[in-house]
Amino acid sequence: MTIKKTSLNNLHIKYGAKLVEFAGYQMPIQYKDGIIQEHKYTRSHSGIFDVSHMGQLFISGGDDLTNDLEKIFPADLKKLKTNQSKYSFLMNNKGGIQDDLIITKTSDGFLIILNAACKYNDYEVIKSKLNNQYKLNLDESLSLIALQGPKAKNVLNKVIPGCDSLKFMNGNNYVYKNEKVYITRSGYTGEDGFEISIKHSDAETFVESLIENGSKLIGLGARDTLRMEAGLCLYGNDLDNDTSPIEANLKWAIPKSRIETEFVGSEVLKNQFQSGVKKLRVGIKPDSKVIARGNTKIYNDKNQEIGKVTSGTFGPSVEHPIAMGYVDNSYSTVNTKIFLEVRGKKIPANICNLPFYKKNYVKGEINV
């Protein structure tokens, strides 16, 4: 299989990226500054992320589309206003997560942003569940660029005036170089930010103008440390086919109005809502400087295995190792003492609240 390149590939090379293969694409893991500096720059100023490998699925056609999509996704799509976004899941019949995604209502249907490694499978699954009744377009003519950080608003507004009026988890159409771009206010870093869907041929000049206004390109390495500090899940690490949104502690993304209704996996979810779950995703803070990576085994004080770490790193902004993982529900209370098996030693740690790093998202001009 040939490795695909995004429209920003030349720019990555120009800015000294170390390139790796990720989900079939050649992507920058870091640039010259390195992961820690890139991470901190995003938190203090703004960072540009090439996320063009992610899927942009447009679905349209037919009055029953919203109804039919609600049979697939546990989101309250009927209440969604045009240009409003919701975080949701594509689940299997067992309530396991096949992908986590963002659904935005567009003027003629829905836009769903999918994880790169899942997008082709998601497309087939969604198409078949919709009985081929609607127009589905996994649009590969568009790049996707995220701009994240406290200065993201100022920088983007200089390049595309007016986008600062967007509210969090809302989108709209804008114009860049006489071409339509779609911008949503969202992100994956715990910072205020935007995701810009733009034609491939305009992506490079657009990113160069963000750089001229003070932003820097940020690699996948810092994207991972940023999202971990923000307590956000990475599909394939923290979420998978055998884990439900309830177990993943993402109950907030299943609106109450949908619990009694039917969608793929609803039986299992309803049951878990009523009877609880055996395992739960938690934040984990090691006492020492030791880093517990994914797959680290978790023990209780009686040396019984109670779970597994799914993501772990050193948090550059919190300046401490951080992790998240799944533990037996009876150990999920904050401040419960647990032990992480790293290189044969049991490292003491505590269950802690997520996120590790808290910054205000923006709702209009009011910080909440």
Partner 1 sequence: MSEVKYSKEHEWIKLDGEEATIGITKHATEMLGDIVFAELPEKGSNVDKDGTAGVVESTKAASDVYTPVSGEVIDTNQMIVDDPSKINEDPEESAWFFKLKIKDKSEMDSLMSKEEYEKFAKETSA
Q: Which residues bind partner 1 (CB under 8 A)?
A: 29-30, 34-37, 39, 221, 224-225, 289-291, 293, 313-314, 316, 321, 343
Q: Which is nearer to partner 1, 171 or 321 (CB)?
A: 321
Closest distance of CB 342 from partner 1, Å? 9
* CA proximity to 85, closest of 94, 76, 93: 76
Kindly tell me the burial class for residue 241, based on how many C-beta atoms sit within 10 Å of its own C-beta (0-12, 13-18, 19 or more). exposed
211: which residues sit within 8 A by CB, 6+ positions away?
A: 48, 217
Tokens of 360: 């205000």
| Tokens (6 digits) for 240 | 């998978």
Task: Find the shortest distance in angstroms from Cβ 39 to partner 1.
Answer: 8
Task: Please state the closest distance from residue 319 (CB atom) to partner 1, in A.
Answer: 9
Q: How far is the CB of 346 from partner 1 (least distance, A)?
A: 15
Residue closer to partner 1 by CB (options 82, 295) is 295
Pick 4 or 293: Cβ nearer partner 1: 293
Specify the length of the chain in residues.
368
DSSP readout, 311-331?
EEEEETTTTEEEEEEEEEGGG
User: In angstroms, rounded to a whole number, what is the distance separating the alpha carbons of residues 186 and 301?
Assistant: 40
Output the smallest distance, CB 56 to partner 1, in A.
28
Enumerate residues 6+ apart whose C-beta is below 8 A from 209: 159
**Residue labelled with tokens 């880093």:** 291
Q: Do 312 and 31 form a contact (C-beta atoms < 8 A)?
A: no
Among 169, 204, 197, smallest CA distance to 183 is for 197
Nearer to partner 1, 190 or 316 (CB): 316
User: In angstroms, what is the minimal distance from the CB of 225 to partner 1?
Assistant: 5
- Count Cα neighbours of 338 within 13 Å in the Cβ-side half-sphere: 35
The minimum distance between CB 6 and partner 1, in angstroms, equals 21
CB 353 within 8 A of CB 318: no
Q: Which residues contact 103 (CB under 8 A, 6 or more apart)?
A: 69, 73, 75, 77, 80, 85, 86, 88, 110, 111, 112
* Nearest CB to partner 1, comparing residues 37 and 172: 37
**350 CB burial (10 A radius; 0-12, 13-18, 19+):** middle
Residue closer to partner 1 by CB (options 31, 174) is: 31
Q: Which is nearer to partner 1, 32 or 158 (CB)?
A: 32
Least separation in angstroms between residue 236's CB and partner 1 is 16
Query: Of 285, 276, 277, 280, whose CA–CA distance to 306 is shortest?
Result: 280
HSE of 148 in the Cβ direction (CA atoms, 13 Å)? Answer: 29
Which of residues 69 and 226 has its CB atom nearest to partner 1 in the complex?
226
Nearer to partner 1, 289 or 363 (CB): 289
Q: Minimum distance from CB of 149 to partner 1 (Å)?
A: 18
